[in-house]
A and B are shown apart, each in its own frame.
Chain A
Amino acid sequence: MTALLKREILLSIRAGGSALTGVLFFLAVVSVFPFAVGPDTKLLSHLAPAILWIGALLASLLGLDRLFAQEREDGSLDMLVMQSHPLALTIFVKALAHWIMTGLPLVLATPLFGVMLNLSPLGIGATMITLLAGTPAISFIGAVGAAVSVKLPRGGMLISVLVLPLVIPVLIFGVAAITGALEDPAPFTAPFLFVCAITLFTSVLGPLAASIMLRHSAD
């Protein structure tokens, strides 16, 4: 399994650097917002947690459509499925690698974009922690979408449509936790724990559901 993780990471570094592309997309989304809402610093800093979360959400969806489709096209999927390892574990590792190469760079880039959006240091810290806890869930839920649409020639759009509604809870609690950290009456811990719970829950359920899909979508 470490071999799989190593291969996935190697692949995403070689093939055009999906980590760079993800952060770049994040940067593009974040810098589009001030064009749309205007350069009002106060407004931007108020919106910053939401902007960062939406940017991270959209950037995390990148590359999900290739998660299994590419394996299927080059024939690797057959061999991945045939081995004695639990298929769910294989999928878990693939989703984890996807997160390491797209989600994690986003978390690391957050301070920079936070400063640009005039977010306070506390807010930046809270955003980073919630993103760290929340973005894995996107990869795990995304694995289900990727498995469902593995045979479709243009699964990319469909995956986004399928996955986005499912990750809304993560978004709700993630942004709620940041608000909780910044404004006094609102709590931080409760929504943050919800984010963690969703991630843990999906880390088991996502790969399991995806493994059932992949087993039966073989042709």
Chain B
Amino acid sequence: MSSETIKPSIWAFANPTRFMGFANKAIPVLVIITFLLLAVGLWLSFIAPEDYQQGYTVLIMFIHVPAAWLAMMTYSVMSISAIGTIVWRHPLADVSLRSAAPLGAMFTILALATGSLWGKPMWGTWWEWDARMTSVLVLLIIYLGLIALSKAFDEPSEAALPLAVMTLTGFAIIPIIKFSVDWWNTLHQPASVSRLDKPAMGPEFLYPLLIMALAYMAIFFTLHMMAMRNEILNRRIRTMKMSAARKQSVTIPNEGAT
């Protein structure tokens, strides 16, 4: 019944198998790069001087801003994967989209949590409905919605297209969210996070920030590749179990005769 919807021609194991081989080699390298970048980034962050305005809370920036960037970048990766699903119906694209969503949600939650911990000493409030924070919150809702959608189908291959379409629809909303800074009246805009994005940041802050951002990217790519590997194994197990159910039922006449 449901197994007939899996098309072996599309789900030919050549590509995922090649990917598995590549991932098995690439992951150790990625792990090393990640740890190196993290070590350098953290070291640079901790020797950075105290900001004259923000004091040591500037340290939060080194993990907050990369998390926020990664939250956006992950969504871009997912959108590209969605195009791969829609245009080429490539199974790896769906695997990539699915595995990226929880990571995106994690980075978004981290951006919100660290932002909240930063906002409390700076603005005196845990949460402010300013455009930037609210837009990130909406991004989180989109991520969680996509995760829920990806789990809502009994048959994962049926979820691929709906998931891809929803992801792209969500992407169309992202620029709208971005411009909401201008459209949506916010009391807090001048004191918002965007102030830190000004390029006039001193190099003593800019370099650790950039290295940390690279480290976060390395974290993402490592975890993403590992999660993709899991998802491929998941599907293999699924097809194997389904064929297991069929296979033995074919051999049953012999057993039944005894």
Residues of A within 8 A of B (CB): 15-17, 20-21, 24, 27-28, 31, 34-35, 38-41, 44, 115-118
Q: Among the listed A21, A24, A28, A39, which residue makes an inter-chain contact with B186, where contact means beta carbons less than 8 Å apart?
A: A39
A31 to B127, Cβ gap below 8 A? no
B151 to A17, Cβ gap below 8 A? yes
A77 to B154, CA, bound (A): 21
Minimum Cβ distance to chain A for residue B57 (Å): 19
B144 to A24, Cβ gap below 8 A? yes
Q: In chain A, what residue has the closest Cβ to B138?
A: A31
A25 to B2, CA, bound (A): 30
Given contacts A21-B148, A24-B144, A24-B145, contact A41 B186 (CB under 8 A): no
A16 to B152, Cβ gap below 8 A? yes
Interface centre among A31, A38, A39, A41 (most CB of B within 10 A): A39
A16 to B148, Cβ gap below 8 A? yes
A106 to B64, CA, bound (A): 28
**Chain B residues in 8 Å Cβ range of A39:** 128-130, 134, 185-188
Given contacts A39-B128, A118-B127, contact A31 B134 (CB under 8 A): yes
Provide 16 A-B residue pairs closer than 8 Å at the C-beta atoms, listed in order of the A residue: A15-B152, A20-B144, A24-B141, A24-B145, A27-B141, A31-B134, A31-B138, A34-B134, A35-B134, A39-B128, A39-B129, A39-B185, A39-B187, A41-B125, A41-B128, A116-B127
B184, CB-defined interface residue at 8 Å: yes
Q: In chain A, what residue has the closest Cβ to B186?
A: A39
5 tightest A-B CB contacts, nearest first: A16-B152, A39-B129, A34-B129, A116-B127, A16-B151
0/1 string, B19-39, CB within 8 A of A gives 1: 000000000000000000000
B127 to A115, Cβ gap below 8 A? yes
0/1 string, B139-183, CB within 8 A of A gives 1: 001001101100111000000000000000000000000000000
A138 to B197, CA, bound (A): 47
A41 to B127, CA, bound (A): 10
A115 to B126, Cβ gap below 8 A? yes
Minimum Cβ distance to chain A for residue B101 (Å): 13
A39 to B188, CA, bound (A): 9
**Chain B residues in 8 Å Cβ range of A117:** 127
Q: In chain A, what residue has the closest Cβ to B141?
A: A28
A17 to B138, Cβ gap below 8 A? no
Minimum Cβ distance to chain A for residue B213 (Å): 27
A31 to B148, Cβ gap below 8 A? no
